[in-house]
């Protein structure tokens, strides 16, 4: 029987977790010699690979000497913080990766705080030492300061550390050591991460993450905290509400390298997957049938943002997608709840609309992006923050926002964030950059990235994460520009776009087919205007001097899905299909729009 070590890798976005795991897998011969291995092996989902971010926690195991190291790769983005908190429950220690130039970032703080509160043993890896602008000693001091700030105990403050390059596959204890392979890091893991604590008693296993398979349904992944889990022995499942029912396990899998290996029993301390238990949920305890004792309930963070998803009812309905009905939309959203625990879906008064709530715009836009790739067409209303009442007062979610920016732009960033009720709480110098930290309402962040990037010539780097609920901060000014709306349906002409360019910026190219009520650009002024974008040039047999001047068209602004969601107002929607992202007015008919605007004005009065 191999000795077990359970360790989670935690870090800020893009500090190199998944790349380091690739190298550990190669050096521990998890891959066959002739196997072709793609980069960032664990980012298996298409979206993870394209965006270079980890969305779902992954479990693998690594054989090293006579040890089995269960390794959990976690997301670094705060919108998926719900995943991080739960999977840390399976670990006895954490590998904290920090970029040797950037140092601790907002998400480093978030994941480390969770790990310290669970009393996990940390090993610090100062990664990307091969960067030309590295500053490893300063970064190590910053990490130490962060531990003190987060109230680490003496045992945690005495953390082991290594310097590493995940990309090149080596780790060293001192900066002048020879750079050979990752052995120093693996040795630290087996020496400094404690083996799992084994308590005496009957079986206890807790579900900390879910997988889903169309053939077997839900698969519960978690750790055996006590006793032995055996697929021949009847067990009880204890739900969050305390109810207990008897059940049997059809299959048990342990993680062996990158694959799941079926076994008959799993000992305490190991991580495994359970198949065949009905209605299994995050936080459920599987325990002995005769002596069912629950483990402490896992708390799941509540959603902070909601959006209304509706079926597509635009004139182009059904032209690009294959799933367009409200029944298909409903089934897909409720299926997502099977494993996306931080999500909430509620049916609304109308049968074709659903209120979907999540941890942030990125969390919800990943869901929408996955749906459009599967062939869904849908429309989404603008994101709204979820308010709560505490002590009889209205409260709203506040985020910690950090912006790293060249010092000459710092004033502009402070001004922009201040306009959205953001308060500067910290300002530091990092090389030739200023690192600014703000507390800002979640609703103030919507649409802010574009404004900051424009003001700083694209030089700013922004990160934000949920902080806490605070009393309502007061109104925030809306976007000052109106939009340009198409009067008619048909292809846009270069002639019409050229003659309207002095009115504003366009979101469409010549030749693109648009419909009446579609938003095709941003107006220079505060009001919305309708324009005839299909207008062609009148042809006559007379040639006037200067009338045939060359048409020069400014390239159209193309929104990503997140930018489109942040851009729209409450009388607008984003239409999402497998091929297109279009902005449109809620009411396509101009008379209905006028009625809606009058009703809104009366409500405000």
In which element (H, E) is residue 226 found? Answer: strand 217-226
Q: Residue 90: which of 59, 111, 55, 54 has the closest Cα?
A: 59
Residue 290 annotated in ligand binding:
no
Q: How far apart are alpha carbons 257 and 261 in whole angstroms?
A: 9
Residue 451 annotated in ligand binding:
no
Q: Report whether 394 contacts 109 (CB < 8 A).
A: no
Q: Name the E strands within 328-411.
A: 344-347, 353-358, 378-381, 384-385, 388-390, 393-406
Residue 18 annotated in ligand binding:
yes
As a 3-state breakdown, the chain gives helix, strand, coil percent values, each rounded to 5, of 25, 35, 40
Residue 375 annotated in ligand binding:
no
Q: How far apart are alpha carbons 462 and 454 in whole angstroms?
A: 13
Residue 127 annotated in ligand binding:
yes
Residue 433 CB: number of other CB atoms within 10 A? 19
Structure-block tokens of residue 498:
């050229």
Beta bridge partners of 423: 439
Q: How far apart are alpha carbons 38 and 373 in whole angstroms?
A: 22
Q: Residue 500: which of 545, 539, 530, 527 has the closest Cα?
A: 530
Residue 17 annotated in ligand binding:
yes
Characterize the bridge pairing of strands 529-531 and 483-486. Answer: parallel
Per-residue DSSP letters for 364-379? HHHHHHHHHHTTB-EE
Q: How far apart are alpha carbons 328 and 511 in whole angstroms?
A: 32
Q: How far apart are the first and last CA of the chain?
A: 74
Q: How far apart are alpha carbons 146 and 150 in whole angstroms?
A: 6
Q: Name the E strands within 27-147.
A: 58-64, 67-73, 93-99, 121-127
Residue 280 CB: number of other CB atoms within 10 A? 21
CA contacts within 13 A on the Cβ side of 103:
20
Q: For the stretch 282-296, what's the b/e string if a residue is b when 16 or more beta carbons lie within 10 angstroms of its beta carbon? A: bbbbbbbeeebebbe
CA 67 to each of CA 2, 64, 425: distance values in angstroms, whole numbers, following the listed order:
5, 5, 46
Query: Residues marked as binding?
Result: 14-19, 127-130
Query: Residues marked as binding for GTP?
Result: 14-19, 127-130
């Amino acid at each position: 029987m191999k000795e077990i070590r359970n360790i989670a890798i935690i870090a800020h976005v893009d500090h190199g977790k998944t790349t380091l795991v690739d190298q550990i897998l190669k050096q521990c011969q998890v891959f066959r010699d002739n196997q072709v291995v793609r980069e960032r092996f664990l980012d298996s989902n298409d979206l993870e690979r394209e965006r270079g971010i980890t969305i779902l926690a992954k479990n693998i195991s690594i054989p090293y000497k006579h040890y089995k190291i269960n390794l959990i790769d976690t997301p670094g983005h705060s919108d998926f913080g719900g995943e991080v908190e739960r999977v840390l429950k399976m670990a006895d220690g954490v590998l904290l990766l920090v970029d040797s130039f950037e140092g601790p970032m907002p998400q480093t703080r978030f994941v480390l705080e969770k790990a310290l509160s669970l009393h996990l043993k940390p090993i610090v890896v100062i990664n990307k030492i091969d960067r030309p602008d590295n500053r490893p000693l300063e970064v190590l001091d910053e990490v130490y300061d962060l531990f003190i700030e987060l109230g680490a105990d003496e045992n945690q403050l005495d953390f082991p550390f290594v310097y590493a390059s995940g990309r090149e596959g080596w780790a060293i204890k001192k900066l002048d050591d020879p750079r050979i392979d990752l052995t120093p890091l693996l040795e630290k893991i087996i020496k400094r991460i404690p083996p799992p604590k084994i308590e005496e008693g009957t079986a206890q296993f807790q579900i900390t993450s879910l997988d889903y398979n169309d053939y077997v349904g839900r698969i519960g992944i978690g750790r055996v905290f006590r006793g032995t889990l055996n697929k021949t022995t009847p067990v009880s499942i204890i739900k969050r509400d305390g109810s207990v029912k008897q059940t049997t396990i059809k299959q048990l899998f342990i993680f062996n390298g990158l694959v799941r290996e079926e076994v008959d029993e799993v000992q305490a301390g190991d991580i495994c997957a359970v198949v065949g238990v009905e209605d299994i949920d995050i936080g459920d305890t599987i325990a002995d049938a005769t002596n069912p004792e629950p483990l402490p309930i896992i708390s799941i963070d509540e959603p902070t943002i909601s959006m209304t998803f509706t079926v597509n009812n635009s004139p182009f309905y059904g032209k690009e997608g294959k799933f367009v009905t409200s029944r298909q939309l409903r089934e897909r959203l409720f299926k997502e709840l099977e494993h996306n625990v931080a999500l909430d879906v509620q049916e609304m008064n109308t049968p074709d609309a659903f209120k979907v709530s999540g941890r942030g715009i990125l969390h919800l836009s990943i869901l929408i992006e996955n749906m459009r790739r599967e062939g869904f067409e849908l429309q989404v209303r603008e994101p709204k923050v979820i308010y709560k009442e505490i002590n009889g007062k209205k409260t709203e979610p506040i985020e910690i926002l950090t912006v790293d920016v060249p010092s000459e732009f710092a004033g502009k960033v402070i001004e922009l964030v201040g306009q959205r009720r953001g308060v500067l709480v910290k300002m530091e110098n990092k090389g030739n950059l200023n690192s600014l930290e703000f507390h800002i309402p979640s609703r103030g962040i919507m649409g802010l990235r574009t404004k900051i990037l424009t003001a700083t010539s694209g030089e700013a780097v922004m990160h934000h994460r949920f902080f806490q609920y605070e009393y309502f901060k007061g109104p925030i000014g809306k976007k000052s520009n109106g939009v340009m709306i198409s009067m008619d349906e048909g292809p846009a002409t270069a002639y019409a776009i050229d003659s309207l360019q002095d009115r504003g910026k366009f979101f469409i190219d010549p030749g693109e087919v648009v419909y009446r009520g579609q938003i095709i650009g941003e107006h220079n002024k505060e009001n919305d205007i309708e324009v005839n974008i299909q207008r062609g040039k009148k042809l006559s047999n007379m040639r006037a001097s200067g009338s045939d001047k060359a048409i020069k068209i400014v390239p159209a602004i193309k929104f990503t899905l997140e930018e489109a969601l942040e851009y729209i107002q409450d009388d607008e929607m984003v239409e999402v299909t497998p091929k297109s992202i279009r902005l449109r007015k809620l009411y396509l008919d101009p008379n209905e729009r006028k009625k809606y605007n009058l009703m809104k004005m009366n409500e405000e009065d």
